[in-house]
Amino acid sequence: MKWETVIGLEVHTQLATKSKIFSGSSTAFGAAPNTQASAVDIALPGVLPVLNKGAVECAIRFGLAIGATLNRVNVFDRKNYFYPDLPKGYQISQLAKPIVEGGALTIAVDGEEKTIHLTRAHMEEDAGKSLHEDFHGMTGIDLNRAGTPLLEIVSEPEMRSSAEAVAYARALHTLVTWIGICDGNMQEGSFRVDANVSVRPVGQAEFGTRREIKNLNSFKFLQQAIDYEVRWQIETLEDGGRIEQATVLFDPDTGETRMMRSKEDAHDYRYFPDPDLLPVKLDDAWIESVRAVLPELPAAMQAHFQRDYGVSAYDAAVLTGSRALADYFEAVAKTCGQGKLAANWVMGELAAALNKAELDIGQSPVSAARLGALIARIQDGTLSGKLARQVFEGLWEGAGEVDAIIEARGLKQMSDSGELEKIIDEVLAANQKSVEEFRSGKDKAFNALIGQVMKASRGKANPAQVNTLLKAKLQN
């Protein structure tokens, strides 16, 4: 039987606010345990939550960026369950009236574009952390994370492979970091993915029973977990078994998923509107003021890069992988006026050097202005590609401005044709054998001669000029 995979994702993004969603505690990562947990965060009796305007604004930004409906009145609910890292005994979330509904994201897999629709996105608070190392047989609770604002972003079950799920998660990651609502740090848990996975025979209209894989914190694990889960579900069904609705965890060490809890002991969350919080009202003036400062979005920027800088669709997609990269590329392209060459340098030489040094674009020792100046020197014939790479090394080492490096290291391409002709004459005289071979029809000999001239000029000759002059001399 042929099977079809059905995947929907729920992504918890930590919002990049300074303070928590319902208290004035800091959200900074890595503080000593419980030093950022206020009376509200630890749920002392009698305290009341006060909503953070910054968190609501992040949600508005997101809603605008995906073309969603913003609910002008949205409501916080209590989701009741008991766990020691949730000291109130309920999580404040949004159920019936979330702030964001609908919207869509476009993904590309193997050059095929696909639109993934979103169901909703709602604001909620994060829980604390439980540390299960041995504290005399007890569990340690750190409530620094309790009350950190989250936007839970829920997609429709529209993905049909792990590759599509990863492409969607990546596109979402790019978007939330692009619009500055989330730092995107997956190691620190700022972007956590739950995958709802089911399979059904191809052609069947109803969905199969789904299992939810919780808390995947890398794109690689997302792919591995879904691939394992899909194989497991298909094998179970083909062996005559049934899939029970369940929550599962992925173990990166074994590459397998295992059951965390079945539907039998699924929680009954008894949601109801939180009487401590009033409905949140968004007025048009607020929404429009947020829209006014929204940056150009990745899809629009891709089109603009193709149109204004002549880069390919593929390059445009790579260059808009993050806002920092896109801004860098655009600054280079503007400085040098050479979009395609700028794209090649940013995605080639620069990306390789950053990769090797394990730096990201924001930490590049070579500024966009300097890389642009370097490319301008290739364009005006001062530098060959080879010389430019040497200048780039100088820039990387912090040796100063492009022209200063060219001057100091004597890297200027030879533009004086008299000087070049002299070198060519010397090379021809010293390589009579190659000259004879060329004249007897061996084209390869010509390349050998060009190589010799370039060598004799210590790489400073303009290869195109060498080619022309050499040809002219040999034909005489």
34 touches another protein by CB under 8 A: yes
For 157-179, letters b (16+ CB in 10 Å) and e give: bbbebbebbbbbbebbbbbbbbb
95 touches another protein by CB under 8 A: no
Smallest gap from residue 75 Cβ to another protein (A): 4
Bin 439: left if φ > 0, else alpha if -120 < ψ < 50, else beta.
alpha
Smallest gap from residue 51 Cβ to another protein (A): 5
DSSP 354-378: HHHHT--GGG-SS-HHHHHHHHHHH
How far apart, in whole angstroms, are the C-alpha atoms of residue 343 and residue 359? 19
**Mask for 41-80, x = binds another protein (CB under 8 A):** -x-x-----xxxxxxx----------------x-x----x
Give residues 192-251 in contact with another protein (rule: CB under 8 A).
Answer: none
Residues 6+ apart with CB under 8 A from 432: none
Smallest gap from residue 29 Cβ to another protein (A): 14
140 touches another protein by CB under 8 A: yes
164 touches another protein by CB under 8 A: no
How far apart, in whole angstroms, are the C-alpha atoms of residue 320 and residue 311? 12
* Number of shown-chain residues binding another protein (CB under 8 A): 54
Residue 171 tokens read as 């596109």
329, 328, 351: which is closest to 340 by C-alpha?
A: 329
CB nearer another protein, residue 76 or residue 305: 76
Give residues 246-265 in contact with another protein (rule: CB under 8 A).
Answer: 260-261
19 touches another protein by CB under 8 A: yes
CB nearer another protein, residue 142 or residue 164: 142
Smallest gap from residue 378 Cβ to another protein (A): 46
- C-alpha distances out from residue 180 to 20, 293, 461, Å: 17, 11, 47
Smallest gap from residue 277 Cβ to another protein (A): 6
How far apart, in whole angstroms, are the C-alpha atoms of residue 476 and residue 472? 7
- C-alpha distances out from residue 286 to 60, 65, 264, 401, Å: 9, 15, 45, 45
Burial of 73 (0-12, 13-18, 19+ CB in 10 A): exposed
38 touches another protein by CB under 8 A: yes
CB nearer another protein, residue 3 or residue 286: 286
**Mask for 261-290, x = binds another protein (CB under 8 A):** x------x-x--x-x-xxxxx---------
102 touches another protein by CB under 8 A: no
Among 67, 84, 255, 362, binds another protein (CB under 8 A): 84
Q: Give the interface with another protein as residue ranges (CB under 8 A).
A: 17-19, 23-26, 32-39, 42, 44, 50-56, 73, 75, 80, 82-84, 97, 130-132, 135-143, 260-261, 268, 270, 273, 275, 277-281
